[in-house]
Amino acid sequence: MKEKVFEILGIDPLLIFGSNNSKLTQIKKYFPGVKLVARGNVLTAIGDDERLDLFEKKFERILEHAEKFNELTENNIDQILEADEIPHMTVDANTILVHGVAGMKITARTHNQRRLVEAVLNNDMVFAVGPAGTGKTYTAVAMAVRALKNKEIRRIILTRPAVEAGENLGFLPGDLKEKLDPYLMPLYDALRDMIPAEKLAEFIENGVIEIAPLAFMRGRTLDKAFVILDEAQNATESQIKMFLTRMGRTAKFVITGDMTQVDLPHRQKSGLSYAIQALRDVEGIDVIELNQNDVIRHSLVKRIIQAFEEKENQLKTPKKNDNNE
């Protein structure tokens, strides 16, 4: 007989064992050849190799469920222990991508957001383009957090071009983090909805979540990671090529941008449209285009986008020559 020891960290052991070990008793019924002994936050399983291996796989799923959803019901336990494998994720209006802070249920709320989720599930590189407020970045971050919680990746890397300062931040006050944070704040905002503040700080401190400007990606190989390039319309052709070629063997890349909000200096071309045109038909890459129907901010935002589009179309239409010859 051998034994395996499981230390429960980051979760209240009562959530796993139940009052008076009621949940542990339920779990024991599925493993008649394994003896379970709980003391404090430690569970010891005793049995032969084959039974212990099976118990370990199932118990890890129980721990993952409890950590991800912060709940574990008797019905959850039955479903997990009776399942032959983890079911494939299907995306509909009710699919919860992540259980966020304070019980927030984060879902893909529009048709194109659901298309984006499916594209990320089925491809290693996805471009998501569309106007402000369509949930491009938010959905991408939710998928990254989901992958981290499911232990599909080891880290999340979020990056943006700091174009307002020309990638030269030296003249701004404060240390490097203080110089960069204003450009990266939308990424922090999304993460704060999905990960408790203390856990988020721990992830950032330990490098599990990295938020950095695009210039800091040069020379690196990004592997076993979910990598998001946000505001990619402000990357030049050479920058976006540099970024895309950082991809490691087991990485997933999402590139988001809005071609109507290019802030590059005069005469510098955006690399986003160039990259999409070059890569649209490459196997393993998908392009999802969102529009004003996907806007989930204030209702005015949708009308503002529509008004600007109408004005731009008017300006592009050549005026008729009213002079009579």
Write down the mean pLDDT value for the chain: 86
Distance CA 246, CA 110 (A): 31
Does the pLDDT value for residue 167 go beyond 50? no
Does the pLDDT value for residue 239 go beyond 90? yes
Sheet holding 252-257, edge to edge: 209-213, 155-160, 225-229, 252-257, 125-129, 285-289
Provide the total of helices (H) and of strands (E) in the chain, helices listed first: 11, 11
Q: What percent of the chain has pLDDT over 90?
A: 51
Neighbour tally for 129: CB within 10 Å: 22
Mean pLDDT in residue range 255-272: 87
Mean pLDDT in residue range 238-256: 94
Residues making up the chain, counted from first to last: 325
Sorting pLDDT into bands at 50, 70 and 90, what band is 44? very high
CA distances from 218 to 99, 166, 178, 214, 221 (A): 34, 16, 21, 8, 9
Tokens linked to 268 = 């510098």
Are 262 and 233 in contact, with CB atoms under 8 Å apart?
yes
Higher-scoring residue by pLDDT: 172, 317: 317
Q: What pLDDT is recorded for position 96?
A: 86
* Signed CA dihedral, 24, 25, 27, 33: sign only: positive
Mean pLDDT in residue range 22-39: 92
Does the pLDDT value for residue 252 go beyond 50? yes
Distance CA 244, CA 255 (A): 9
Q: What pLDDT is recorded for position 315?
A: 81
Q: What pLDDT is recorded for position 85?
A: 54
Sorting pLDDT into bands at 50, 70 and 90, what band is 294? confident
Write 86-93 long-range contacts (CB < 8 A, 24+): 86/61, 89/121, 91/117, 91/118, 91/121
Q: What pLDDT is recorded for position 205?
A: 93
Q: Any bridge partners for residue 228, and if so which? A: 158, 254
76-106 confidence digits (pLDDT tens): 888 788 765 544 567 777 788 988 888 888 9
Distance CA 99, CA 146 (A): 9
204-233 confidence digits (pLDDT tens): 999 999 988 898 899 999 999 999 999 999
Does the pLDDT value for residue 324 go beyond 60? no
Distance CA 212, CA 98 (A): 23
Q: What pLDDT is recorded for position 263?
A: 83
Q: What pLDDT is recorded for position 319?
A: 59
Q: What pLDDT is recorded for position 187?
A: 87
Are 198 and 140 in contact, with CB atoms under 8 Å apart?
no
Sorting pLDDT into bands at 50, 70 and 90, what band is 178? low
Sorting pLDDT into bands at 50, 70 and 90, what band is 170? low
112-142 confidence digits (pLDDT tens): 999 999 999 989 999 999 998 899 999 999 9
Distance CA 36, CA 160 (A): 49
Angle between helices 197-206 and 176-194 in degrees, nearest 10? 130
Higher-scoring residue by pLDDT: 38, 303: 38
Q: What percent of the chain has pLDDT over 70?
A: 88
Amino acid at 228: I
Distance CA 110, CA 115 (A): 9
Are 237 and 213 in contact, with CB atoms under 8 Å apart?
no
